[in-house]
Amino acid sequence: MGKDGMPQFTIGVDIGTTGTKTVLVDVTEGRIVAQSSRESRLHADAPGHAEADPAQWLANAHNTIREVLSESGVPGAEVGALATTGMVPAVVPVDITGAPVRRAMLQNDSRATAEIEALRGQLDADEVLAATGSAITQQSVAPTALWLRTHEAENWRRTARLVGSYDWVLMALGAAPHVELNWAIESGLGTLEGRHYPPMFAAADLVEDIVPPILAPGSQAGTLSADAAEATGLPAGLPLIVGGADHVLSAYAAGVNAAGDWLVKLGGAGDVLAAADRPVVDARLYLDAHPVPGRWLPNGCMATSGSLIRWFQTLTGGVDLLDLDAEAVERRPADILCLPYFLGEKSPLHDPDLRGAFVGVDLAHTRADMYRAVLEAVAFGFRHHTEVFAEMGVALRQAMVTNGGSKSTLWKQILADVLDTELWPVIGHPGASLGAAVIAGVGVGLVDDWAQIDQFRILGDPVTPDPRNTAAYAEAYAEWRNLGDVLTPVSHRLARKARS
């Protein structure tokens, strides 16, 4: 316990696309005490499908919580609160007891293309954007609900509520049914003010109580159940606090907290987020509420980033990524162009029927050239987003870079060169789980100021653009954009053929 007899530890659990990560933090001293992670399986049983098993998320949460307590030697009774975070807007259809009726459908699942078009035809696009901050895209939950009703009638009949990944895990630990504010906003079923958006429910013929109450980050949603206490080693009755969307809390933990701060997040998907002091809406991007009240995070999310690199690694025999980096650093920039749309594309194009491509390959090229092209393709996607931010009037000043891809010296340099901006790596950044742990402290009064997150942040040396490459990349980026336009109709024909 702390000097005043209050608990000094909190826990944050991150339900990610490829794994679950849990951190135990000392909120009084501003330090990470222990971390643990477990992998999660991504199910892609058909083109455009992306699913995960909620039971695996919960087992991972139980195990990683036990592991951070065991590793640290901190008794469970000294933990003051727990919060969850995760990918958004994953969809978990649950029955009246809160049990999932099927696997979760993830945010990069792109099967509901016909339903997206149907809803776009029924609703005024400008009104939807103004109310929810986002257009109707593959991230929208109403099209997913329509797909379930049409293609899985029995599962739909059993569905009482639709909730998010991290909401469901918190509920499974003992919280009341709820969805977090940014799940509601990004789903298209909630407004920027945190209320249901009736026109979307009406267009999809959904009853409004299929989405439970919308809660803001830092709200208490319940307490840890006796069963969850036994599974985790934490005390029954522990406050369970609403965390938030993983990309939002990752940005918060990385220091994207004042207008002009921005973050490149190199995870399984590619996120880019900028802090703003007002809600800024554009159909090409998403808008999330910053966990600090009154602040906002216009942002983009590309369907692939690290997941594309892992795919290429597997395709080339599982060679170590550091070895691929060492080979690729010697290759000429942008000698091959890659379109990274191997799961369609989310922002800023919002086209699930786009497909990936390598162009310009000849027999003199090696896997190193193709690997470099993959890194460059993701960087070009981020550059596309920065152009949209500029058109929206969103200032971009200090840029941070985080997540697994930030460990690659080559990829960081390519990003700095393509973006023509200085990048500050956040060292030892555990991501959204840290943001959730601090918010858990805010929720129970152990943390007095949202700005206390800054005491956890350590910045590395900046990565500066190489002037020898910036001009070449500017030219290659223009060609890359043109290539995307040229191949779009080909991608669409191939996607339609695959569905037929």
Sequence ranges of the domains in the chain: 9-247, 259-396+466-499
Assess whether the region 9-247 and the region 259-396+466-499 belong to the same CATH fold.
Answer: yes
Contact 461, 423 (CB under 8 A): no
Cβ-based neighbour number of residue 148 at 10 Å: 21
* pLDDT confidence of residue 98: 97
What residue type is assigned to position 253 of the chain?
A
Task: Provide the percentage of residues in the chain whose pLDDT is more than 70.
Answer: 99
Q: How many residues does the chain have?
A: 500
* pLDDT confidence of residue 1: 60
Q: Which residues, at least 6 apart from 219, have a Cβ–Cβ distance to it below 8 Å?
A: 241, 242, 443
User: Does 4 score more than 70 pLDDT?
Assistant: no
Q: In the CATH hierarchy, which top-level class contains the domain 9-247? A: alpha beta
Structure tokens at 387: 């152009």
- What is the chain's mean pLDDT, rounded? 95
Residue 436's Cβ-count burial label (10 Å; 0-12, 13-18, 19+) is buried
- Write out the H or E segment, with its range, that includes residue 144: helix 141-151
Using DSSP bridges, classify how beta strands 92-94 and 51-52 pair: parallel, antiparallel or unpaired: unpaired
Confidence of residue 2 (pLDDT cuts 50, 70, 90): low
In the three-class reduction of DSSP (H, G, I as helix; E, B as strand; rest coil), residue 89 is classed as coil
Q: For 112-127, how does the pLDDT look when each residue is reduced to its tens digit (9 = 90+)?
A: 999 999 999 999 999 9
Q: For 132-191, how does the pLDDT look when each residue is reduced to its tens digit (9 = 90+)?
A: 998 898 889 999 999 999 999 999 999 999 999 999 999 999 999 999 999 999 999 999
CATH topology of domain 259-396+466-499: Nucleotidyltransferase; domain 5 (3.30.420)
Confidence of residue 478 (pLDDT cuts 50, 70, 90): very high
Give the end-to-end CA distance of the chain in Å, rounded to a whole number: 62
Q: For 285-298, how does the pLDDT look when each residue is reduced to its tens digit (9 = 90+)?
A: 999 999 999 999 99
DSSP 246-267: HHHHHHHHHT--STT-EEEEES
User: Does 3 score more than 60 pLDDT?
Assistant: no
Q: Which residues, at least 6 apart from 227, have a Cβ–Cβ distance to it below 8 Å?
A: none
Handedness of CA 212, 283, 269, 411 (dihedral sign): negative
Taking the complete model, does pTM exceed 0.75, yes or no? yes
Work out the average pLDDT over 243-252. 94
Query: How many angstroms separate the CA atoms of 140 and 346, rounded?
Result: 11
Residue 244's Cβ-count burial label (10 Å; 0-12, 13-18, 19+) is buried
* pLDDT confidence of residue 389: 97
Handedness of CA 105, 107, 108, 112 (dihedral sign): positive
* pLDDT confidence of residue 327: 97
Residue 30's Cβ-count burial label (10 Å; 0-12, 13-18, 19+) is middle
User: Does 232 score more than 80 pLDDT?
Assistant: yes
Query: How many angstroms separate the CA atoms of 170 and 173, rounded?
Result: 5
DSSP state of 490: H
Work out the average pLDDT over 212-228. 97
